[in-house]
Amino acid sequence: MAEKLNFSPNALVVLKKRYLKKNEKGQTVETPVELVERVSGAIASVEKKYSVTKERTEEIKKKFFEIIANLEFVPNSPTLMNAGKDLGQLSACFVVPVEDSMDSIFDAIKATALIHKTGGGTGFSFSRLRHKNSVVKSTGGVASGPVSFMKVFDAATQAVKQGGTRRGANMGMLRIDHPDVLEFIKCKEKEGDISNFNISVALTDDFMEKVLKEEDYNLIDPHSGETVNRVNAHDTFNTIADYAYKNGEPGIIFIDRMNEGNPTPQLGNIESTNPCGEQPLLPFESCNLGSINLSKFLREVNGNFEINWERLKDVTSLAVRFLDNVIEANKFPLPQIKENTLKTRKIGLGIMGFATMLGFLGIAYDSDEAIGLAKSIMDFIYKNAKEESMKLAKERGVFPAWKGSIWDKKAIRIRNATLTTVAPTGTISIIAGPTSSGIEPNFSLCYSRSVLEGEKLLEIDPAFEYIAKKEGFYSEELMKKIASGESIQNMEEVPEKFKKIFKTAMEISPLWHIKMQAAFQEFTDNAVSKTINLPNNATVEDVKESYLLSYKLRCKGITVYRDGSRSVQVLNVEKKKEDKKHELGEERQPMISYPRPRPEVIMGTTTKVTTGCGNLYITINQGESGDFFEVFTQMGKAGGCAGSQLEAVGRLISLALRGGVDIKVVTEQLKGIRCPSPSWVNGKKIFSCADAVARVLEKRAMDQKEIVKVEVPVLEKQEASVLVKKTNSFSNIVGVCPDCGFALRHQEGCLLCDACGYSKC
């Protein structure tokens, strides 16, 4: 049955792991065909509400089935997971308000827990909270400030995410004129702090103008509205750039631009977005997303490819109808979310596969031709989406908050307050693939993915594979070289003209990344999720120039990521020599190329844990200074896949510890990972072998007694060098996927795993 849907082997793995129905024993009880039938049937059933005939409902169901089965359109993950099920929560994006009172703060935490439990992500503005050390008149005490409460939200997310259908993700936002803005900018400086949040600073147009003029601006008490300080805008701007240079955060949101596009200003101002920043929402609003796979809208004519505009129009119309139906089919986690979502009926139709389409068309990503095509495609999708929404308004009525909206002022009767969003498509692009993600260039033209039972499959960009075979330079050896991390820019066998067409993300100038984001933003009424890739040797000045260019080109926000900037990526980059001090006056810490060398003899402990798979022996060794140094795991006499996976877990933990990663970060990645055979130890549930390792690490961190002598083989420097070379092959690797152990990359404003589809957002 799956072959009829043309799912790739990688897509089947992701579907089985994340989307197909499972029984109470965790066994898969649904085929991919049945999944598509379940989703299309549940969403098409909404048609009955509008007095559509049974035959018409069945016709629409078949059309919905067709566009998903053909991989032309894929809805967001919660819709795929939950449509037609009892849970029935279908939205990906929510914004929860946080007012300046304890009641509001903890009501927001409760709402967040309920949303995360159903698979949604949440955004917050903490700008209404009074600043740190300001007086609380009702108690006579002093306020602890927004950052302290963000840590409470972060802890709640950490606790809830183990029980939800997918890990919860948050966006924390603070206005640039909040008195605690500098503390907020620096709040994620230490790796592992507030790890369940993406953070963004909301910049106003007034602030940006003062940056350009190097003038002072006011910091305003959100409670009283009074100015509490004046600081230099350029200095604050430099601080934002410096911290983004170091670890990719904070991002920036141009909040006035967001509100320029607010379709219902009569309901209030936009203060926050969803976790990746592409979906601005009012308090207690949600949005339903889905993406068109552009790589499926090409046809070959006389040996060349052209865009099938007619089919793109048809699928756009069907996708808008589908997403409007999702709003009706949705089972909202809170009554106020249902009320506010139904008022505006926002949808977010986006795209994926843009880079793959460019490859088939023979167009370089970093070219004016590509920028022009981006505008043409998004303009076409937006116009046809608007046309379909206007048709739906005739059939079903305008959105309830239409009166007083920007659509009312334009005298356009429309069903949905917003129509288009370019959202991350990490997981669904695997399902629809092989194809490129969102509007991003390829991070690699060929790489290996681990699928069932440790089998590795090469995934090749279909456009590059087609061209390579057509032009006669394809070979298995070439693909293996690319998969190992070699760039085609250095390969003689690849013709020069194709080197220009098939540049990867880190081979494209940040200027073109920003120009591409701006091109899509011009015809997107919500916003665009994209990562602006910077090479490791980029400077803070490069970050600032990227910010200023994105402001000039009228982007609604920007996320930069300098390759190798996170401490968990120390094995992926060359050591950077830098003698000068950065703008904050601190000595910049150099990157390291190798993990600390291992002494011949080392001390540690071995702990026996009973798991659902058998007795697991966990050895944790300490360095000379007493810090954790390495981990070895052994499951009885286990061999094969189980033994190799346990060995891999131990090796990766050891490399992280020897590379300086905090033990808290390591345990957070492992804790709560589940397998089909959990166990109970001392009244506590052990979810998996990885979870067992995390718990032993936690316990040893608190109690470092009973040291025993353990002799283990030495990891030779040559072995470490090979590992460094391999892990340095691809760009934007920021760590290890908590679900499958594959490389975790920074892309589309989020952390994504290309192997299993895990997304932090």
Would residue 276 show up in a list of annotated catalytic residues for this protein? yes
Q: How far is CA 290 from the centre of its chain?
A: 15
Q: In what order do the strands lie in the sheet with 733-736?
A: 733-736, 743-747, 750-753
Which residues of the chain register pLDDT less than 70?
1-4, 138-140, 161-168, 449-456, 566-598, 600, 624-625, 636-642, 676-677, 682-683, 703-736, 738-743, 754-757, 761
> Residue 118 and residue 11: Cα distance in Å, rounded?
23
Question: What is the DSSP code (8-state) at residue 166?
Answer: S
Helices (H), 703-745: 717-727
Containing 184, the helix (H) or strand (E) segment is helix 181-185
User: Which pLDDT belongs to residue 4?
Assistant: 63
Spatial distance between the Cα atoms of 578 and 591, rounded to a whole number of angstroms: 10
Helix pair angle (233-247, 540-552), 10° resolution: 110
**Cα angle: 199, vertex 204, 208; to 5 degrees:** 105
Q: How many CB atoms lie within 10 A of CB 626?
A: 10
Instruction: State the Cα–Cα distance between residues 589 and 659, nearest whole angstrom.
Output: 13
The pLDDT, as a whole number, for residue 656 is 80
Question: What does residue 747 show for φ and ψ, rounded to 5 degrees?
Answer: -155, 145
Q: Alpha-carbon distance 706 to 390, whole Å?
A: 72
DSSP string, 645-682: HHHHHHHHHHHHHHTT--HHHHHHHHTT---S--EEET
> Who's near 432: CB < 8 A, 6+ residues apart?
11, 71, 74, 291, 293, 296, 352, 353, 425
What pLDDT is attached to residue 630?
A: 85
- Catalytic position from the list 278, 285, 388, 465: 278
Please tell me the predicted confidence (pLDDT) of residue 677: 67
Strand partners, 349: 290, 420
Question: Is the sign of the CA dihedral 123, 127, 128, 134 positive or negative?
Answer: positive
Q: Which CATH class is domain 602-714?
A: alpha beta
Catalytic residue flag (residue 10): no
Selection from 75, 81, 95 nearest residue 286 by Cα: 95
274 in catalytic set: yes
Which pLDDT score, from 0 to 100, does residue 193 have? 87
From 93, 276, 287, 753, active-site residue: 276
In the chain, DSSP finds a helix count (H) and a strand count (E) of 26, 29
Give the pLDDT score at 396: 97
Please pick, among 82, 238, 274, 325, the residue that the annotation labels catalytic.
Answer: 274
For residue range 409-438, list pLDDT tens digits in order. 999 999 999 999 999 998 899 999 899 999
* pLDDT at residue 667, rounded to an integer: 82
Query: What is the domain partition of the chain in residue ranges?
Result: 97-157+170-243, 439-505, 602-714
